Structure 1
């Protein structure tokens, strides 16, 4: 079972007790084999145990000996420390999140570089979050009820509205990058490929590679076109689709086949994938997955407003009633089905708290 303690990454981490270490100056799980004898930041942060590891980084729980608090320390793998692309991505995460101060964004406290095993290795010190990622929850539990799916997505959109207003596009929203804390709060993490909005060309290509995760990649990301906030809304639509239908909107035998579908194919509405999904939610999901960014929601606030409206209607009227909807649904080879959409004000209050029990018991 996955470790219950999570922090700001890595986004595709393995169990904290699984396997041997593969970088950052050591070959095991013992803290003294990591960092500089178990210390990072000129001795300020004492590593206590590993939380997880991924393709780029290792994350440890640590004690901030100066302030006497527990934090998470993310270390770039030492074998990537000399790779300029990996190092730039890692450093950009610290720079992107350093200016963000919001309850729905995993906070960055500090960053820097240490010389570890002869290599200059960057590190990020983050808020330590107790909880599980949506990825873990989807693996371990049944799909959440539609109302909880809407609450989760509202929390993600609240974080995105804040980051977008501060000029930051996340560019990698996916289940592994969203945490439900043990108190039921929603937090977004891993701004590792985030990019500032200012500048004429904010594209998703880097050294010829598309940056992002195939199952949640917007068409413009897949094509290497200029990316803006609406790409995050597309990825959030993919996340909502998976929360409702327990599968992403597109699947395939290879990443390339999935990317092709994002560009070319119209997804099946989630209510046609699972009978448990109220068809009233199809409009919300399908609009967020429009191929043309101009056909999507134009801001996180706008999408969140409709998600909150849907949550209110589900609470008051239930689903599968035909008494309300969230907009038109475009079907492959068919004319859009008209709907009468009411909108809640975008402010709408804080709906980013998941009521207990948390998405059902583990399987």
Structure 2
């Protein structure tokens, strides 16, 4: 089946390739091998017949296409990612629906056409033990860049985990995928109060998700912190025999610092992980950009100053995982077996193992979690029922009572000490507090041309508090310090705020050269790598020399500048040439025109007593019709007819040898 011209009428949603018998969706996407299978959809390698590029096609499973919740979740994924255009997010090119089976039930399963990424998931790299400390930080920076973009677009991912992050094999670039349970930041239904609504993956669940509260961008940052923890240590921050025990630890437990599991992890990285995994979302990083800055600063040894420095917290209770699992597993299993006996009950099984599906009898899966991808998913209804049971366990109540007694004793001790200080040394303290103390001054150090992290460290060393400010600059490289306010050398009080001005890079990008002849996806990557963050628009045009599906040029053209957030049009060749009107021209003129268009010329002469000889009277391809590059056009050219024969002047001999009378 040959590719259709742009603008041709669509074919039926379910077709088969005439030569190979493969399935073709919407007359455009030819399906190949099955490259992935999850609990909700199958992913096939595919080919876009119109643009000639490889794609990945994700199709909702036929048995789930009848379920309105799965259908809504799948469509929400297409809607969420369709508006996201970022180099670290798997791009979605198209979406649609196709009939399943023979169409007897009238079931239409939706599909999503996505960018195909050649590489491995972080899950695979973690299993192989192929992640170093530097790679862990680099991968996390890429994930945070994607989250920063999606959050600014109003989308919260809600399921950040190793299985949803790809690493490209050619460049090592991060690609975040699977926005299946993503929600808009402004969506008031984001509390997920529906009975069977998926909350997320237990190993990376934020406390507010586990408790069914509203989610926001900081919930993704908690999950990103859990993922960074696993990249640094090779294991998730919390483990258990059931998803409920893991979720409970996210709400009440404190993770062991990564440096305790991996001595190569610095104290600065410990502080970043601790800040990202704070239980209260207002104590975490305010946004992904702040998380990224802290992570880059940690590479230079700069720690987060307001992160907890130990593994304990006064308002949290640590409960043994074994006690939770043993107490929860039996009543949970019994409840779900009872539910299986009542087909009308809408409550689903507690645990659904990815890639394998839930157990047929609805019982609880209890395999330990070795990696994040082995974690089970939770629904809000399950947590709503099971968390009260956990909190009523004797072990939990005993731990809480012990903690309250310890806190009361500590408070009594503090009050006694305070009274002693106030009574015995009140006058001395008053005199010390009221005595005039001259402020300690320090000179603002020079930080120009230093990296952002080095400049911050230099200001911290001078006992000053840097406050970042990014400004555009066409001369100073991105991420390099420009200066400070107050300026260097000025004397100010210690611990005062100093504005650190850092270059955000240029405001305009120059279109690179040598884009002609490359594929449209390759040109998109080149423009993104050049720093362009705006919209890329693809259009098609006829061209005599550039092969089909290759780039002819861009608007603005190569060498011209465009704003960083501006729009660039990518013009792609259709592989066609439009034939002009040639009749009335001489054969030499018409031949020159056609050869200039890269077409072959064939000439047929015909006698014509009306049109001058050598003039074109017809063409095999009509004017303004389009043909393939290098095609043949036959020209009909007028030829002067031969003169009529003249009568003979010699007499015609007769049989007797004498000329006839009329032959004289």
User: Which of the five TM-score ranges fits, normalised by the shorter chain?
Assistant: 0.7 to 0.9
* Contact 2:257–2:311 (Cα < 8 Å) also in 1: no
Q: How many residues align?
A: 303
With normalisation by structure 2, the TM-score equals 0.44
Report the equivalent of 2:147: 160
Report the equivalent of 2:366: none
Go from structure 1 to structure 2 and tell me whether the alpha carbon gap of 1:342 and 1:185 turns closer, same or farther (over 3 Å shift).
farther
Report the equivalent of 1:325: 303
Report the equivalent of 2:29: 45
Question: 207-216 or 267-276: which moved more?
Answer: 207-216
SS across alignment from 1:73: strand
Report the equivalent of 1:219: 207
Tell me which of 183, 186, 205 is aligned to 1:195.
183
Q: What is the CA-CA distance between 1:200 and the residue it aligns to?
A: 3.0
Question: Residue 257 in 1 paired to residue 245 in 2?
Answer: yes
* Contact 2:275–2:304 (Cα < 8 Å) also in 1: no
- Structure 1 unaligned residues grouped into runs of 5+: 1-24, 26-31, 315-323, 354-363
Tell me which of 230, 237, 248 is aligned to 2:225.
237
Go from structure 1 to structure 2 and tell me whether the alpha carbon gap of 1:226 and 1:189 turns closer, same or farther (over 3 Å shift).
same
Question: 248-257 or 200-209: which moved more?
Answer: 200-209
Go from structure 1 to structure 2 and tell me whether the alpha carbon gap of 1:162 and 1:268 turns closer, same or farther (over 3 Å shift).
same
Q: What is the CA-CA distance between 1:247 and the residue it aligns to?
A: 0.5
The C-alpha deviation readout for 1:13-49, integer Å capped at 9, x for no partner, is xxxxxxxxxxxx9xxxxxx8xxxx7424322111111
Distance in 2, matches of 1:264 and 1:225, equals 15
Tell me which of 38, 41, 53 is aligned to 1:57.
41
* Contact 1:173–1:236 (Cα < 8 Å) also in 2: yes
Distance in 1, matches of 2:281 and 2:259, equals 23
Question: Residue 71 in 1 paired to residue 55 in 2?
Answer: yes
Question: Residue 186 in 1 paired to residue 170 in 2?
Answer: no
Q: What is the CA-CA distance between 1:202 and the residue it aligns to?
A: 1.7
Go from structure 1 to structure 2 and tell me whether the alpha carbon gap of 1:75 and 1:258 turns closer, same or farther (over 3 Å shift).
same
Distance in 1, matches of 2:240 and 2:117, equals 33
Go from structure 1 to structure 2 and tell me whether the alpha carbon gap of 1:150 and 1:57 turns closer, same or farther (over 3 Å shift).
same
How large is the Cα RMSD of the aligned pairs? 2.4
Report the equivalent of 1:318: none
SS across alignment from 1:80: coil
Go from structure 1 to structure 2 and tell me whether the alpha carbon gap of 1:88 and 1:147 turns closer, same or farther (over 3 Å shift).
same
Q: What is the CA-CA distance between 1:140 and the residue it aligns to?
A: 1.7
Go from structure 1 to structure 2 and tell me whether the alpha carbon gap of 1:282 and 1:47 turns closer, same or farther (over 3 Å shift).
same
Question: Residue 86 in 1 paired to residue 73 in 2?
Answer: no
- Structure 2 unaligned residues grouped into runs of 5+: 1-13, 315-459, 471-477, 480-503, 506-528, 530-664
Question: 209-218 or 326-335: which moved more?
Answer: 326-335
SS across alignment from 1:212: strand
* Contact 1:244–1:270 (Cα < 8 Å) also in 2: yes
The C-alpha deviation readout for 1:223-268, integer Å capped at 9, x for no partner, is 1100000000000000000000111110001111000000011111
Report the equivalent of 2:112: 124
* Contact 1:174–1:239 (Cα < 8 Å) also in 2: yes
* Contact 1:168–1:195 (Cα < 8 Å) also in 2: yes
* Contact 1:204–1:227 (Cα < 8 Å) also in 2: no
SS across alignment from 2:255: coil
Q: What is the CA-CA distance between 1:310 and the residue it aligns to?
A: 1.7
* Contact 1:305–1:344 (Cα < 8 Å) also in 2: no
